Structure 1
Amino acid sequence: MFPRLRVLPLLVLLAAAACDEGPPPVSTKDHAEGLYLKGTAEYLQGQFEASLKSFEAMKQLVPNDSRLPAARGEVYLSMGRLNEALAEFEFAVKQDPRRSTNWSRLGFIQAQLGRVPEAQSSLRKAIALFPHDFNALEALGELHLKKGEHDEAVRHFTLASAAASGEAKSALLMRALDVLGQQKRYDEVLTRARKAVDEGIRSPEVLSTLGDALVRAGKLPEAASAYQEAASRSPRDPTLWELVGEIHMRLDKPGDAIAAYKESLRVKDRAVVHVALARIHLAMDNRPAAEDELTAALESVSGKDTRELRELAELLATLGRKPDALRILTSLSAEPDHVKDAELQLTTARLARELKDTAVLQAACARATAADAGVKKCP
């Protein structure tokens, strides 16, 4: 019995000793790695000052860690402290010259600081190390664009799009298409947009651009299809369905136009769409339906859209409510933003003359002649 009684106190003593020892010490390497992860998480959360402090603490432990300059550089870049970011990435490329991202970020910063030749050199080094660096390709494209080198800009934006994925692929392609559009190179816009869609880049922006190009080329059925797909991929944009409706009207397909306009109204109730529907009903000799649409237009009018108000005034005049139409035009033509719109002033003057409103007629005529010296005779 005595040996057994002595075992219990011994176990208690061993357990107490184990508790006194505490957790094993953390190595310097593990501590530094923890600080790196902490600093990265703080950076991603937008806690830039805290992130810099974590990276500084890490530097005290492992001053030669090649990840530190780039990590600190990214933080400074996000803070808009370009000169400090530049210094960090200049050190980063010296420490790790084979890392393409270091050269890419350095080139981007140099470009922001207006150091164009240096930026081009850095970006080309990044691409030489990693040809699919779409950030470097995009930055080079922007530099070429600033220098007026449009073909090179388009080439680099296209290469960047090919290297990118997700939403960036479409956005970069749109940069190329926008440059071509600004240069009025519409045939190239059509060719490239059609090719992109065929290859699976079917974002609303690319499809809309294709639709625009097809309209210019007179290919209306294809344009309607492009806009319709764009509308289906952009459920919050009512204007795309409106474009589909307009094309169907030009193709003399009122039934398809009505269906498209109704889809637009499902997205957002807008007066201009009700006006368009009213015109279709008038063309089909359905005056009651047109008047219903006029009522809906008046209920949904925002009062801020010039196009909306002008079209509403025109519809009111067509349906015999000319005094109401003149009230809208009188108010609109007197606004400071529209006093130099000679066409609007002449439209107002014509209706004022018809309704024998001398005051509005004279005011509109005066504004029309002041806005356009070519207006020799006012209604």
Structure 2
Amino acid sequence: MNSRLRALPLIALLASAACDERPSVTPKDHAEGLYVKGTAEYLQGHFEAALASYEQMHALAPNDPRLPAARGEVYISMGKLPEASTEFEAALKLEPKRSTNWSRLGFVQAQLGKTDEALGSLRKAVALYPNDFNALEQLAEIHLKKGELDDAVRHFTLAAGAASGESKSELLLRAFEVLGKQDRHAELLALAQKSVNEGVRSSGVYTTLGDSLVRAGKLREAAAAYQEAAGLAPRDPTLWELVGTIHLQLDKPGDAIAAYKESLRVKDRAIVHVALARIQLAMKSQEGAEQELAEALESVQGNDVRELKELADLLVTMGRKPDALRILANLSAEHDLQKDVALQLATAKLAHELKDVALRTAACARAAAADPAVKKCP
């Protein structure tokens, strides 16, 4: 047998040995794979499957500190809060200095109505990690429920400082809301201005700043804030409308027209055409006003009360009272608007002018029923 033939059995033997060499999977590797599998199932909303994977993992790595915390998250998503509490308590026995475990336990305790225990857990979380914005937010919510409003504002603000992205803005808006409901407008303006100065760029924050500046009588600054908000919320036509309205109040009709046209680029709305028609009338352009009125009538939605009221008022101004009365007659008969005294009186007044006795009588009756102090009706 030549050397080449002798080598063939040896090569075959080596190849066979190589095929049998498979990488061995250790229990640790298997447990890690189950953890990854369970986490993926949890993120996909397959909660029972996730728990099953974690149970298999427990048999291989019963003391893995991640395991009870992972199960706790699944139970929270399933609405099984007592089970979640038990899991996070178990996690803390394994990792007592992990702030997230204290934070999540505090969240669950708060949902279960265990306020004092929740406060203790959340404070431990913040002591371990002062930038735990979830714990800070939950502390704010608890203080808010207890009526401790200064503490609520402080913790919402601290949470915003620790958060990033949309969460930062949302937490600031919660703080703004608490201040606004207490009419603490000066503090609200200061906090909104501070937030913007520190680089927070969100439509909600700029809109709140604009609202606060309007309330403070700072219209030019308010217009700038609303314009920033409009740039950050390109699908919201009302922000450009606010800019236009302020410019009109500042006697800057050219800037108002430009802002209203930006609003129309976002969405064609009758109320903006009404505003433009009024500008045209002020500029003595009857033709321009008629054109805007036609656009308004073309784009009117029919379910926007403010829009319909403004349109009716413009029709009266432009000498089309019968058309205006038709709009007011429909509005004033709406069940939700029958207690709108101003609307009922406006309808009665126009009905009286146009000698529609039945409509006038009905509108006057609704006004008197809504407000007994109404003694005289047009």
Q: TM-score range by the shorter chain?
A: over 0.9
Separation in 2, partners of 1:171, 1:357: 52
Query: Where does residue 4 of structure 1 map in the other structure?
Result: 4
Query: Where does residue 298 of structure 1 map in the other structure?
Result: 297
Query: Where does residue 181 of structure 2 map in the other structure?
Result: 182
How far is the alpha carbon of 1:2 from its aligned partner?
2.9
Separation in 2, partners of 1:227, 1:188: 19
Kindly report which structure 2 residues correspond to 1:185-334, keeping only aligned pairs within 5 A, or say none: 185-334=184-333
Amino acid at match of 1:14: L
Asked if 1:104 corresponds to 2:103, the answer is yes
Amino acid at match of 1:226: A
Query: Where does residue 336 of structure 1 map in the other structure?
Result: 335
Asked if 1:372 corresponds to 2:371, the answer is yes
Separation in 2, partners of 1:168, 1:331: 44
Amino acid at match of 2:59: Q
Kindly report which structure 2 residues correspond to 1:152-163, keeping only aligned pairs within 5 A, or say none: 152-163=151-162
Q: Secondary structure at the match of 1:303?
A: coil
Separation in 2, partners of 1:9, 1:147: 84
Query: Where does residue 65 of structure 1 map in the other structure?
Result: 64
How far is the alpha carbon of 1:51 from its aligned partner?
1.2
Query: Where does residue 150 of structure 2 map in the other structure?
Result: 151
Separation in 1, partners of 2:142, 2:13: 74
Kindly report which structure 2 residues correspond to 1:77-96, keeping only aligned pairs within 5 A, or say none: 77-96=76-95
Worse overlay, 40-49 or 120-129: 40-49
Query: Where does residue 126 of structure 1 map in the other structure?
Result: 125
Q: Secondary structure at the match of 1:132?
A: coil
Separation in 2, partners of 1:234, 1:143: 32
Separation in 2, partners of 1:192, 1:134: 18
Instruction: Output one character per residue of 1:84-143: Cα deviation in whole Å (capped at 9) or x when no partner.
Output: 111111111111101000000000010011100000000000001001101001100110
Amino acid at match of 1:223: A
CA RMSD of aligned residues (A): 1.0
Stretches of structure 2 lacking an aligned partner (at least 5 in a row): none
How far is the alpha carbon of 1:184 from its aligned partner?
0.3
Amino acid at match of 2:261: K
Worse overlay, 43-52 or 321-330: 43-52
Amino acid at match of 2:243: V
Instruction: Output one character per residue of 1:270-298: Cα deviation in whole Å (capped at 9) or x when no partner.
Output: 11111111111111111111111111111
Separation in 2, partners of 1:357, 1:320: 17
How far is the alpha carbon of 1:245 from its aligned partner?
0.6
Q: Normalization by structure 2: what TM-score?
A: 0.98
Amino acid at match of 1:94: K
Separation in 2, partners of 1:333, 1:68: 63
Q: Normalization by structure 1: what TM-score?
A: 0.98
Instruction: Output one character per residue of 1:218-251: Cα deviation in whole Å (capped at 9) or x when no partner.
Output: 0000000000011011101000001001100110
Worse overlay, 143-152 or 35-44: 35-44
Worse overlay, 166-175 or 104-113: 166-175
Percent identical residues: 71
Q: Secondary structure at the match of 2:347?
A: helix
Separation in 2, partners of 1:215, 1:345: 30
Q: Secondary structure at the match of 2:63?
A: coil
Asked if 1:28 corresponds to 2:27, the answer is yes
Amino acid at match of 1:350: K
Separation in 2, partners of 1:105, 1:9: 64
Query: Where does residue 18 of structure 2 map in the other structure?
Result: 18
Worse overlay, 170-179 or 325-334: 170-179
Query: Where does residue 138 of structure 1 map in the other structure?
Result: 137
How far is the alpha carbon of 1:14 from its aligned partner?
2.8
Q: Secondary structure at the match of 1:26?
A: coil
Stretches of structure 1 lacking an aligned partner (at least 5 in a row): none
Give aligned pairs, total.
378
How far is the alpha carbon of 1:202 from its aligned partner?
1.9
Amino acid at match of 1:377: K
Instruction: Output one character per residue of 1:324-364: Cα deviation in whole Å (capped at 9) or x when no partner.
Output: 11011111101111111111110000000000011111111
Separation in 2, partners of 1:195, 1:18: 68
Query: Where does residue 117 of structure 1 map in the other structure?
Result: 116
Amino acid at match of 1:187: A
How far is the alpha carbon of 1:22 from its aligned partner?
5.1
Separation in 1, partners of 2:168, 2:18: 59
Amino acid at match of 1:50: A
